[in-house]
């Protein structure tokens, strides 16, 4: 079938038919939360974790989702199933809903639930084989005491400004630092480096979103014998790293071969990245919530 969008339980197969009111506070103020979810080989990967995080984000901004977690899971699976795809990207959005032109969330009587199920390809195939080039952005990551980065909110302007820098400099991605100069994450992905026989990634308290893919990679890495450390590091540490790669539901795992015109390691995707990618792809192919009866 192809693209399917659910807007408050009503299904559409054309993007121009799927509409929300212009008075929705998700549109007016970025007041809402979302999740990016993947299905592989007819199975939705880590659905429970994604829905749990969605509800945690909603609770943090005092947004009461008018469905239970199980109901949202069922609607998510139903929307993805209607595409007819076995591999599908799912964008699940819950906004504050329709209100007035003021900020007051009490004027929004009912949250809006939108689920988009479609194909996605953030990078061409050769980027996964050859690696990407990144730059360090001057735009700093929002401080956790201003807006907690663990809330996966609809307000991505901070990331977009960094993405604009990335585009301006002709890079594939941008690395964002916090106000102390430590690496947090890329504009849309978490970051790992392999350095001194260990896999290192920034900790949550430094100002990152703990990605589902990030946590999955940590689990896999430990199972296959890698030492994993969550600790702050600087761009200088990336310059001297043996390997670097990014993780995210959309991008999955993608190797970084250059940062700020400096090659990382030998300038090619590293052996540890390749082992992790292979294990991750096997896990996504064989586990998850079934979309179709024959996938159980």
- In this prediction, residues 276-281 reach a mean pLDDT of 97
- What pLDDT sits at residue 295? 59
Tell me whether the CATH fold assigned to 4-118 matches the one assigned to 125-284.
no
Going from N- to C-terminal start, the domains of the chain cover 4-118, 125-284
Q: The tokens of 175 are what?
A: 């690395």
Task: Compute the average pLDDT of residues 179-186.
Answer: 98
Cβ-Cβ contacts under 8 Å for 81 (sequence gap 6 or more):
291, 292
Give the pair of three-digit tokens for residue 63.
């947004």
What is the average pLDDT across 253-264?
Answer: 98
**pLDDT digit string, tens, across residues 44-63:** 999 999 999 999 999 999 99
pLDDT beyond 80 at 14? yes
Residues in the chain: 296
Residue that the structure tokens 């061409």 belong to: 124
Distance CA 101, CA 117 (A): 30
Separation between Cα atoms, residue 246 and residue 216, nearest integer Å: 13
Rounded average pLDDT over 165-187? 98
Q: Which CATH class is domain 4-118?
A: alpha beta
- pLDDT of residue 285 exceeding 80, the answer is yes
Residue 220: strand pairing partners: none
Average pLDDT for 206-224? 97
pLDDT given at position 275: 97
φ and ψ of 213, to 5 deg: -65, -40
The tens digit of pLDDT for each residue in 100-159 reads 999 999 999 999 999 999 998 888 899 999 999 999 999 999 999 999 999 999 999 999
β-pairing verdict for 88-95 and 289-290: unpaired
Rounded to an integer, what distance in angstroms lies between the CA atom of residue 69 and that of residue 185?
A: 28
In this structure, what token pair is assigned to residue 148?
């907690």
Average pLDDT of the chain, as a whole number: 96
Average pLDDT, integer, range 195-220: 96
Please check whether the domain covering 125-284 is classified as CATH 3.10.20.30: no
pLDDT band at 293 (very low <50, low <70, confident <90, very high): confident
Average pLDDT rounded to a whole number, residues 3-9: 97
Q: How confident is the model at residue 220 (pLDDT cuts 50, 70, 90)?
A: very high
So which residues are the catalytic ones?
152
In the chain, % of residues over pLDDT 90:
96
Report the C-alpha dihedral over residues 52, 58, 60, 61, rounded to 10 degrees. Answer: 170
pLDDT at 74: 98
CA distance 113 to 96: 9
CA distance 249 to 196: 27
- Mean pLDDT score, 19-45: 97
Interatomic CA distance for residues 131 and 134, integer angstroms: 10
Question: So what's the pLDDT on residue 294?
Answer: 67
Contact between 202 and 214 under an 8 Å Cβ cutoff? The reply is no
Q: What is the phi/psi pair of residue 60, to 5°?
A: -65, -35
Give the mean pLDDT of 216-237. 97
Mean pLDDT calculated for residue range 85-100: 97
Looking at residue 120, its pLDDT comes to: 84
The per-residue pLDDT for 1 is: 76
pLDDT over 60 (residue 296): no
User: For the chain, what percentages of helix, strand and coil (3-state, to nearest 5) are there?
Assistant: 30, 25, 40
Mean per-residue pLDDT, 205-225: 96
């Amino acid at each position: 079938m192809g693209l399917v969008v659910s807007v408050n339980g009503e299904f559409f197969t054309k993007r121009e038919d799927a509409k929300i009111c212009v008075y929705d506070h998700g549109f007016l103020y970025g007041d809402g939360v979302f999740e990016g979810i993947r299905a592989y080989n007819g199975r939705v990967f880590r659905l429970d974790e994604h829905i749990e995080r969605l509800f945690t984000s909603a609770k943090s901004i005092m947004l009461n989702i008018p469905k239970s977690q199980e109901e949202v899971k069922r609607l998510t699976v139903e929307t993805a199933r209607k595409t007819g795809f076995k591999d599908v990207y799912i964008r699940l959005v819950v906004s504050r809903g329709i209100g007035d032109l003021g900020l007051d969330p009490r004027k929004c009587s009912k949250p809006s639930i939108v689920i988009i199920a479609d194909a996605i390809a953030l990078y061409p195939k050769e980027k996964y084989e050859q690696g990407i080039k990144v730059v360090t952005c001057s735009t700093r990551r929002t401080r956790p005491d201003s807006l907690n980065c663990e809330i996966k909110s609809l307000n991505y302007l901070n990331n977009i400004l960094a993405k604009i820098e990335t585009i301006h400099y002709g890079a594939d991605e941008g690395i964002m630092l916090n106000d102390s100069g430590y690496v947090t994450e890329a504009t849309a992905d978490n970051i790992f480096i392999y350095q001194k026989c260990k896999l290192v990634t920034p900790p949550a308290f430094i100002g990152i979103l703990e990605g589902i893919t990030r946590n999955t990679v940590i689990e896999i890495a430990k199972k296959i014998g890698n030492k994993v450390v969550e600790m702050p590091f600087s761009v200088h540490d990336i310059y001297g790293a043996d390997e670097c790669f990014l993780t995210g539901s959309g991008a999955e795992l993608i190797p970084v071969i250059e940062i700020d015109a400096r090659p990382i390691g030998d300038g090619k995707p590293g052996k540890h990245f390749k082992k992790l990618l292979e294990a991750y792809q096997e896990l996504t192919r064989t586990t998850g919530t079934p979309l179709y009866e024959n996938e159980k």
